[in-house]
């Protein structure tokens, strides 16, 4: 069984985008704010949005199940206020729930959180609990920078985040560290902001004793861990210079990397330097890169091909990467 731990609903019907546009317009002119139930998307529309995209790619590529969450770039936590995010998260999560109900063999849900810059993450607890208990979701996406590229909230190791972590531990769900769109013109969202956030989060964890406080808290750092595996020597060296324990001991019971790296040399590096126990298969399809690589004739984001082509991975490690580690990291996946 091959599980893709990182898929977003990037192909939603236009009605969703239109609703969001009206919601944003309503921030200036409250009289034009849409009612929640004004959004109507039928089951057939959901099916149609997936059949020619994620489901087709699952079949073509030979993957079985995708851990599925709302579009990351669409979370837009920097837009409006906590109430804006609450309504929007509720809507996006409900769509994921409906998709998981329509295709229980193909998708399992992870939720967006109603974060808002400067607002304590305590306000995310209710939505997380609802999604896990009512919808059967198995994790959440946690945005380390709800400001959308200005990084004005405290780092992930700050006690600011602890109430949410307590709930994650209680519910036994991990978080994927995932920013949303960037409203800072310095940062292209999928080309810089995403990758920077991954690198930043890892380095925050490296400097802290967060995992002493929460020994069972788990994070997935997507996009192959940002820059981290490429600079693994740098991170080992910085930790050593700082008198921190070796990274394996310090972090690797709690921090995991996905395989969203879109060329074979990158995947090879990842598998070479990061223990197989800490790597989860993922492609982020349909996502940041949709084209076909002229050098290979295949989609850049068909990451399974790169892994399949590497002969030196043992069968045991391959099994961990493709699904064993998911059962470990997403405890509720195993339990369902």
Q: Catalytic amino acids?
A: 284
CB of 49 to a second copy, least distance (A): 20
Q: What is d(CA 113, CA 333) in angstroms, rounded to the nearest whole number?
A: 19
Q: How many CB atoms lie within 10 A of CB 308?
A: 14
Q: What is d(CA 262, CA 301) in angstroms, rounded to the nearest whole number?
A: 5
Q: Pick between residue 45 and residue 204 the one whose CB is nearest to a second copy.
A: 204
Binding site for a second copy (CB under 8 A): 144-145, 149-155, 158, 184-188, 190-192, 195-196, 199-200, 203-204, 206-207, 223-224, 226-227, 229-238, 240-241, 261-266, 268-269, 272-273, 288-291, 293, 300-301
Measured CA to CA in angstroms, residue 241 lies from 82, 202, 225, 274, 314 at distances of: 41, 17, 22, 20, 33
DSSP 54-95: HHHHHHHHT--EEEEEE-HHHH-TTSS-HHHHHHHHHHHHHH
User: Please, what's the b/e burial string for 114-143 (b: 16 or more CB within 10 A of its CB; e: otherwise)?
Assistant: bbbbebebebbbebbeebbeebbbbbbbbb
- 324 φ/ψ sector (left φ>0, alpha ψ -120 to 50, else beta): alpha
């Amino acid at each position: 069984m091959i599980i893709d731990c990182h898929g977003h609903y990037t192909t939603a019907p236009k009605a969703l985008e239109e609703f969001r546009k009206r919601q944003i317009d309503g921030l200036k002119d409250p009289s034009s704010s849409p009612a929640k139930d004004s959004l109507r998307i039928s089951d057939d529309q959901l099916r149609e949005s997936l059949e020619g995209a994620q489901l087709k790619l699952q079949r073509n590529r030979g993957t079985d199940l995708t851990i599925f969450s709302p579009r990351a770039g669409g979370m837009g936590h920097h837009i409006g206020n906590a109430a804006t995010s609450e309504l929007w998260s509720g809507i996006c999560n409900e769509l994921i729930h409906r998709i998981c109900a329509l295709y229980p063999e193909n998708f399992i849900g992870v939720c967006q959180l109603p974060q808002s810059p400067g607002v304590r993450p305590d306000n995310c607890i209710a939505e997380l609990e609802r999604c896990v208990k009512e919808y059967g979701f198995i994790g959440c996406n946690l945005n380390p920078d709800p400001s959308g590229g200005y990084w004005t909230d405290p780092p992930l190791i700050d006690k600011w985040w602890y109430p949410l972590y307590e709930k994650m531990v209680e519910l036994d769900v991990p978080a994927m560290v995932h920013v949303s769109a960037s409203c800072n013109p310095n940062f292209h969202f999928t080309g810089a902001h995403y990758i920077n956030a991954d690198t930043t989060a890892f380095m925050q964890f490296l400097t802290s004793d967060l995992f002493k406080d929460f020994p069972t808290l788990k994070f997935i750092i997507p996009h192959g861990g940002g820059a981290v595996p490429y600079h693994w020597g740098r991170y080992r060296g910085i930790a050593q210079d700082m008198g921190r324990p070796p990274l394996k001991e310090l972090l690797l019971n709690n921090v995991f990397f996905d395989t969203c790296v879109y060329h074979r040399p990158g995947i090879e590096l990842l598998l070479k330097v990061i223990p197989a126990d800490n790597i989860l298969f993922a492609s982020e399809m349909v996502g940041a890169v949709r084209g076909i690589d002229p050098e290979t004739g295949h989609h850049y984001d068909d990451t399974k091909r790169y892994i399949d082509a590497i002969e030196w991975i043992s069968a045991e490690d391959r099994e961990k990467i493709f699904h064993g580690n998911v059962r470990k990291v997403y405890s509720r996946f195993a339990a369902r």
